[in-house]
Amino acid sequence: MLPPNIRVMRRYFMVGERKLSYLDFGGPGRPLLALHGHYNEASAFEPLAKALAPRWRVIALDQRGHGESDRARSYERDDYIADVAAFHQHLGVGSLPVLGHSLGGVNAYQFAARHPDKVGTLIVEDIGAVVECDWSFTTRLPRQAPSREALVAALGATAPYLECAFRQSGQGWGFSFDIDDTVASQKALNGDHWDDWTAVSCPTLLVRGTRSDELAADHAREMIARRGGRARLVELPAGHVVHHDALDQFSAAVTTFLSELR
């Protein structure tokens, strides 16, 4: 459980005509912005927020089309980065750490590259500078199931990674994200992002899961080499969702990295 003096608050703000939602996990610590990956939402970071409290106060965005945030007409790279910039402005914070997983990791390092005055330190979880998404998993997801149990059974071993996004409606059980929107987002995520990665000027921690099918070991080492001493790599015994598979080790690596920089 979170310490008794820490209370999670769901909040909202507007970007144009769209509503974005976020979770402020509260507490007296320094703020740390967190950006989730596809199939997830802000609540996916609750275990990490508990592990980092009370030193760090995690504030996690439901990115466009995810969680309690509105769906959008477009999921291009610039759209996501504009949302993160609006989120930062809404919070009224200065330069601070930003952590991102997968989709959120690319969003985090592109935001850091384009807004260097807003990101003091960067933590990127298991995503590369070149992304080649395979959306076949997304298109195989069940659009509706008659019960939560049926949805879990249909997902099999992947259910624990998606359960934060489970939602019940009048038609049964599904997800807080739209499958077609997710495919569009994954297609837009694909590509060569080396220019943004190498443009990041702040200290960076790249975390790779040793069982990851998303970030290869050689590519991760090349990412570190191209940053010329401003980035370090930590590899943990986990799959793609390192903060889920190796929570204690992941939170320890993040805490150590941020403490050394302070």
Summarised one tens digit per residue, pLDDT across range 216-236 is: 999 999 999 999 989 999 999
Closest Cα to residue 87, out of 33, 38, 41, 28?
33
Query: What is the band of 7 on the pLDDT scale with cuts at 50, 70, 90?
Result: confident
Question: What is the CA 101 to chain-centroid distance, rounded?
Answer: 4
Predicted TM-score of the model (pTM): 0.97
Non-local CB neighbours of 170 within 8 Å, separated by 6+ positions: none
Tell me the per-residue pLDDT of 182-221, one tens digit each, with 9 for 90 and over.
999 999 999 999 999 999 999 999 999 999 999 999 999 9
Q: What does each C-alpha distance from 31 to 56, 96, 200 come to in angstroms?
A: 6, 7, 20
Q: Is the pLDDT of residue 3 over 60?
A: no
**How far, in Å, CA of 165 to CA of 43, rounded?**
8
Q: What does each C-alpha distance from 152 to 12, 40, 156 come to in angstroms?
A: 29, 15, 6
Q: What does each C-alpha distance from 142 to 28, 147, 153, 155, 250 come to in angstroms?
A: 41, 12, 11, 8, 31
Non-local CB neighbours of 241 within 8 Å, separated by 6+ positions: 37, 101, 102, 126, 161, 209
Domains annotated on the chain, with CATH = 9-129+178-261 (3.40.50.1820)
For residue 261, the model assigns a pLDDT of 79
**How far, in Å, CA of 17 to CA of 73, rounded?**
12
% of the chain residues with pLDDT over 70: 97
Q: Is the pLDDT of residue 109 over 90?
A: yes
**How far, in Å, CA of 257 to CA of 236, rounded?**
15
